[in-house]
Chains A and B, each alone.
Chain A
């Protein structure tokens, strides 16, 4: 099998999800190549090599500067046509979903999305896709090549192989319509504190907090645990907390070691963004909140009582471990 992995990058870094998918492709075996499309991105090729790509195609062109999908469809389609890859894999993001779907139309190639695993069974590539609010898992496949797949965020961890990739620059030929959409402005907000995608511990606050001022409770607990603060769609829409911290369907997918949900009912839109967490603790006053169905430990009660005391206890534990002199 020959596989092409589309690598997304942001501010000079290959994205973790893309590298995770690359790692999975290497594990599945066969020839694994990567594509990096952008402007001034040649230096990223070495990084891709260290994460397992034997070959890296670099499409470097000022027209690829903005992270817009359509020129990337052109570049990817050209590469697939000339090299005949059996599979093209993407770590799913706002950008790559549009690239993959555009590519599916361009090549009349099957696309399976939201996959949480890829396996090879009897020489056949099989994708695992949760459906109906993750109540069933469907084994999906492809009837023709190339097989296109979008992998759900946070599914595969990157694996450093320490390898070195052969780098090849590819010619960039763009369709007229592909360059008509223009990026006018990009405002990238930076969240304070550790990024939730990389955090080992996350404390997330929801509408149950009652108001933006009560996020202090969540922040203090996160600080005590050395973790990051996350939020839900509802509180971001209400303007209580920045979007960069939003977990769920229209936000980020996270999989920390410990996820503490405070005042979050845990509807499926939120669940899909955090269910991969190793341990989930929920605090909510509504005993019927859906989050209690999948939290490892659920505490029904008043978060305003519980959270400050919990923070105090964690701080006391920390102090016992690291006594001040």
Chain B
């Protein structure tokens, strides 16, 4: 089985939004989105020892993302395809999902895997947009995944309990971070990763029109960046035995009981 894992490279410590570009400051050390490591791990588990199976990492981002994507190769993935193009900078969901879908169409995987969310944007929406563009069935938030030759079955948590959903392959699956514990790359894996195929493609290579990429291809925008609403005063006290009384006094004072 050919499995594509859609991975995002995020700044290790994203702590500010650039006030000029109104984009996330990506100057921090680039790293593989930790939630995507669960998707890589799951792909490697499904691949197992099957010689005819392949795990390919598909990503969008600047060229320097390759360093961080190599972690997935060190874990055991077979190769990387990175759509790197200046013109794609500032892409929102509409533009990114379009580019990702084009990159995936080129690969024709039987299974496309996503991690639970992007650590930088807190987005948890990409898979449904990509599934729609690929016109493939979708199972999201999967905490237990099984596959057969023609099908994929996922168990997931929702607000109301558990669902078990089944879909024929090819399919798109987003896994929750509860699905597994991603392995640490071994030294051998890290050494071997450098030799694995790492391909960079441009938007033109993927047949993506300029007007569908980057900010031009995006449908959302950022107007302003502000402070969060202030929370009232906080107090902290050490329990000297009077903690319970202090709590009750506080609750009475605030008319909470």
Contact = CB atoms under 8 A, between A and B. Distances in A.
Interface residues of A, number: 89
Contact of A132 (B16, B223, B229, B254): B16
A36 B176 CA distance: 28
B232 A95 contact: no
Given A297-B250, A317-B257, A132 B17 contact: yes
Interface of B: 14-17, 22, 92-94, 97-98, 101, 116, 121-133, 135-141, 153, 156-168, 171, 176-178, 218-229, 231-239, 241, 243-248, 250-251, 254, 256-257
A94 B158 contact: yes
A57 B247 CA distance: 50
B182 to A, nearest CB: 15
Contacts of B168: 180
A244 interface: yes
Contact of B224 (A138, A187, A306): A138
A104 B129 contact: yes
Interface stretch (A79-87, A106-114, A156-164): A106-114
Contact of A184 (B98, B130, B166, B244): B166
Interface of A: 10, 67-70, 73, 93-95, 97-106, 108-114, 126, 130-132, 134-144, 150, 175-178, 180-189, 201, 225, 237, 243-244, 250, 252, 257-258, 278-279, 281, 283, 287, 292-302, 305-306, 309-310, 312-314, 317
Given A70-B132, A143-B219, A299-B243, A183 B165 contact: yes
A255 B128 CA distance: 28
A264 B127 CA distance: 32
A184 B165 contact: yes
Task: Give the top 3 A-B pairs by smallest Cβ distance, nearest first.
Answer: A301-B239, A110-B219, A101-B128
B132 A73 contact: yes
Contact of B135 (A175, A293, A294, A296): A175
